[in-house]
Amino acid sequence: MPTAVQPLPLTPEPIERRQQVVSSSRPWRWGAAVVAALSLLATAACSGNGAQREAAAEVAKKDRYGGTLNIGLSADPGGVDSAVVNQVWRTVARALADSLVFYNPETKQVEPWLATRWKVSDDARVYSFTLRDDVTFHDGTKLTAKVVKANLESLNRPGIHSSAKTIVQGISTIKTPSEHEITVEFAEPNAAFLTSLSRAYVGIISEKTARLPVEQRQKWLDGSGPFSLEEYVPNQRIVLKKREDYTWAPKYFRHDGAAYLDKVVYKIIPEDSVRNGAVIGGDELQFIYWVNAKYVPQLQNAGLTISKTLNPATGTELPVNTSSKFLKDVRVRQALQTGVDRDEFVKIDSGGVDQPATGPLSKDNPYYSDQSALLKYDPARAKSLLEQAGWTRTGSDGIRVNAKGERLSLRAPEDDAGWQVLQDQWKKLGVELVLDPPLAAEANEKLLSGEYDIAYWYASSPDPDVLRANYGRTTGSNRSFIADDDKTGEELDRLLQEQNQTIDKDKRQKLVDAAARILIEQGYEIPVSNDVDIWAHSPRLHDIEPVGLDQYLINAWLAKK
């Protein structure tokens, strides 16, 4: 059995609010990765090896109950409410709060959860839901249409994370015709709304929690999930306790009652070596994630199970600032696009764990299409494009110079192994990439300000509307700063807006494909890689399940020693 958890204070200590930075970089990327990890990961099973699965299947469900699962985190998430802080949706949030609907990663369809059924208008503007009548929150209050209305309204406040806020933007009215019926109407069509509601950062919380000031929502959360929050001590631990009365897990998990585990303790352990040693020992920790690929051989040789999960949205994508004086010329943007060796990038950046991008969307996105023919590495073509754009001379430092004597120098907001790969690859073309990260507290604001020539972004929702959210001009963030007089950009915006107004999947697919092609051909964005998260856990731990990048604990159980 796990070692006893140290006695905990009865109430959480004060929590300081921290600015969260959305970044495509993940902790396990830091440092070089070893090639030996590649063959090991290629054969790693997502739920353990065959022998482990067969042995686990012999354990009756009644014998799986009990125990404390200890999970190691590399950093404090900054709060427990994923509507407020970034990345906590990957961990604690999904155990605490359920969603109206569930996204089935196998069928790529939306299924019932807190909502038993729904109806969507033909124009994708009106969504009507019928709710379960047996759901309660951790504070004892009941799920009602009024509570869901308070949740949706609360997400449009200052301080709410952009991923959650974007989902509810455009709502014109919310009606509650009965205690368990709610209708949401948008001013404009919104085909992505239903899938978006499956995300953890739109998890439904009690009305009292929803109405708390945003700063308070980071400290405590009463949801309807299979676990309740027992304690949050910043930079030390987050403790969850099983709900004995939980009976509404999605059918996907084939689990009718309460979770098997009694408790889950997330421990903040910044040092890789300490986390690795703790999970190898198996008593202090039984699970870690965002594992650096270079540690995989060590962990697997110690008998741990190695699992992988692919981001269902995008990955490492680089919005290109088309308002930059050098990047207004599409030929320069196209040179950067074709001048990226994506195979080399993933080998160095992630040890070959990530997948080279083959389009703006991940292969696990339901609207993915293969655009790899447009992303072939061709440095000769890249150099030719730069020369056509007037960058014909090269200075003594190897950087191209135009007729005005200006050096082809671009600025980017990060400095890690992946960006250093890009810096080296583009230098071979004669392009300088200056890596100049901002202060963490200023990063989001500066990325949206147009201060950088090349930026980054990251999305995780399994819907193609992430492209509109990032690159849409009429609605969306327009992260590429596409000008109003850019005719191709105007067509891109039309496609991005129309796909979010289209319910028919085949029609929507054609719109998404056309938009993806323009994004790549015009160099509005540079898709580089698709992210794959690595998990490592004790062979005693079974059935901890990913859905996208979210972590589900309803079926997780620990075998007895």
What's the pLDDT tens digit per position in 263-283? Answer: 999 999 999 999 999 999 999
Angle at CA 431, nearest 5°, toward 427 and 434?
A: 85
Question: pTM of the predicted model, to two decimals?
Answer: 0.83
Confidence of residue 47 (pLDDT cuts 50, 70, 90): very low
- Three-state DSSP at 467 gives helix
Looking at residue 241, its amino acid is: K
Q: Which residue has the tokens 């992946």?
A: 418
Topology, domain 63-310+534-558: D-Maltodextrin-Binding Protein; domain 2 (3.40.190)
Query: Can you tell me whether residue 272 is helix, strand or coil?
Result: helix
| Average pLDDT score over residue span 325-331 | 97
The pLDDT score that the predictor gives to residue 459 is 82
Strand, coil or helix: 484: coil
**Residue pair 525/319 in contact by the 8 Å Cβ criterion:** yes
Residue with tokens 């990032």: 470
Residue 549 scores a pLDDT above 90: no
Whole-number Å distance between alpha carbons of 327 and 523: 9
Q: If you average pLDDT over residues 215-221, what whole number do you get?
A: 89
CB neighbour list of residue 384: distance below 8 Å, 6 or more residues apart: none
Q: Compute the distance between CA of residue 530 and CA of residue 549 in angstroms, rounded to an integer.
A: 12
Q: What is the pLDDT of residue 12?
A: 30
Residue 387's contacts (CB-CB under 8 Å, 6 or more residues apart) are: none
CATH class of the domain defined by 313-530: alpha beta
| CA atoms within 13 Å, Cβ hemisphere of 512 | 29
CA angle 543, 549, 552 (to 5 degrees): 35
Q: Could you give the residue ranges of the DSSP H alpha helices within 389-538?
A: 417-427, 443-447, 465-471, 487-499, 505-521
What is the pLDDT confidence band of residue 84, given thresholds at 50, 70 and 90? confident
| Side chain identity, residue 95 | A
Band (552; pLDDT cuts 50, 70, 90): very high
pLDDT above 50 for 23: no
Provide the pLDDT for residue 89. 78
Number of neighbours of residue 344 by Cβ within 10 angstroms: 14
372 three-class SS? helix
Alpha carbon distance 175, 184 (integer Å): 7
CA 439 to chain centre: 22
The residues, ordered by sequence, that sit 6+ positions from 122 with a Cβ below 8 Å of its Cβ are 503
pLDDT at res. 154: 94
Residue for token digits 């869901």? Answer: 148
- Give the model confidence (pLDDT) of 481-519 as tens digits: 999 999 999 999 999 999 999 999 999 999 999 999 999
Can you list the alpha helix ranges (DSSP code H) found in 30-158?
36-42, 50-57, 92-96, 145-154
In this predicted structure, the answer to whether residue 19 has a pLDDT above a threshold of 60 is no
Tell whether the model's pLDDT for residue 72 goes beyond 90: yes
What is the pLDDT, as a whole number, of residue 52? Answer: 55
Q: Are 339 and 485 a contacting pair, CB within 8 Å?
A: no
Residue 39 has pLDDT above 60, yes or no: no
Closest C-alpha among 228, 266, 220 to residue 246? 228
Q: How many other C-beta atoms lie within 10 A of the C-beta of residue 384?
A: 14
Q: Residue 463's closest CA among 108, 126, 118, 94?
A: 108
Q: Could you write out the DSSP letters of every residue in 405-427?
A: --B-EEEES--SHHHHHHHHHHH
> What is the overall mean pLDDT for the chain?
88
Instruction: Name the 3-class secondary structure at 457.
Output: strand
SS3 for 90? helix
> Which residues, other chains included, contact 43 with Cβ-Cβ below 8 Å and sequence gap of 6+?
none
How many CA atoms, within 13 angstroms, populate the side-chain half-sphere of residue 235? 6
Residue 269, φ and ψ in degrees, nearest 5: -130, 95
Predicted confidence at residue 177, as pLDDT, reads 98
pLDDT for 327 beyond 50? yes
pLDDT of residue 160: 86
Q: Averaging pLDDT over each range in 33-37, 418-422, 442-446, 475-479, which range is the top one? A: 418-422
Confidence of residue 256 (pLDDT cuts 50, 70, 90): very high
Spatial strand order in the sheet of 355-356: 316-319, 525-530, 355-356
Rounded Cα distance, 509 and 491, in Å: 16
Nearest to 246 by CA among 560, 553, 1: 553
Confidence of residue 163 (pLDDT cuts 50, 70, 90): confident
Measured CA to CA, the distance from residue 352 to residue 347 in angstroms comes to 4
Of residues 419 and 36, which shows the higher confidence score? 419
What angle separates helix 487-499 from helix 505-521, to the nearest 10 degrees? 150
φ and ψ at 545, to 5 degrees? -120, 135
- State yes or no: pLDDT of 440 exceeds 80: no
Q: What is the pLDDT of residue 351?
A: 87
List the chain domain ranges: 63-310+534-558, 313-530
The predicted pLDDT at position 458 comes to 77
Look at the alpha carbons of 70, 71, 76, 80 in this order and tell me if their dihedral is positive or negative. negative
DSSP classification of residue 29: G
How far is it, in rounded angstroms, from Cα 499 to Cα 64?
Answer: 45
Q: How far apart are the C-alpha atoms of 550 and 162, rounded to whole Å? A: 18
313-530: same fold as 63-310+534-558?
no
> Would the pLDDT of 69 be above 90?
yes
Looking at the chain, how many residues does it have? 561
